[in-house]
Amino acid sequence: MKYVVLAWLLCCSHFSYADFAYHGQLQLQTASGEQRQQIFTLQLKREAGAYQFTVGQQQTRFAMPPQSYSMALILQDDTDVWVTDLSNQPLHGFTLQLGQYVIKLNKDDNARSARGRFVLQINDEFYYFSKGPAQINFSLTDNGISELNVRGMFKPKR
């Protein structure tokens, strides 16, 4: 009997159940001036032998859990920012509280070297748009977000 229990434990130990769920507070300021608040979900759930990955309103299935997720930020004509994972309208700003991270995008008239005067802030770090689109890359583990990295932006001189 103890060999059956040991064999069962060994078999079960190889299965990795990556499940996590973040239901973050999202505040949007659209280019038209509308202010909206909603819940933003980032979730990975194992179902029927596959992984269901949810980002905002979008869902997809994977055979294996994803190791990363990228949120694109596209600056249009230095006036509007498109973040299609958050809104189907151009934005002038947003604030997203997701786990230990606070991600903010807003216009700052004092940020003279920032394209469009847009400033991205993740916790205590600030970023300005460079050329081309920007990305916030979420590194994922079985337990959730392990870190964030920003691409296509630069840190201003202090």
Q: DSSP readout, 21-39?
A: EEEEEEEEEETTS-EEEEE
Asked whether the CA dihedral 80, 81, 82, 86 is positive or negative, the reply is negative
What per-residue confidence (pLDDT) applies to 2? 45
pLDDT digits (tens, 9 = 90+) for 17-69: 669 999 999 999 999 999 999 999 999 999 888 999 999 999 999 999 999 99
pTM: 0.85
What per-residue confidence (pLDDT) applies to 86? 96
What per-residue confidence (pLDDT) applies to 10? 39
What per-residue confidence (pLDDT) applies to 6? 37
Higher pLDDT, residue 18 or 123: 123
Rounded-to-integer distance, Cα 70 and Cα 47, Å? 23
Burial 15-29 (b: 16+ CB within 10 A, else e): eeebebebebebebb
Mean pLDDT rounded to a whole number for the chain: 89
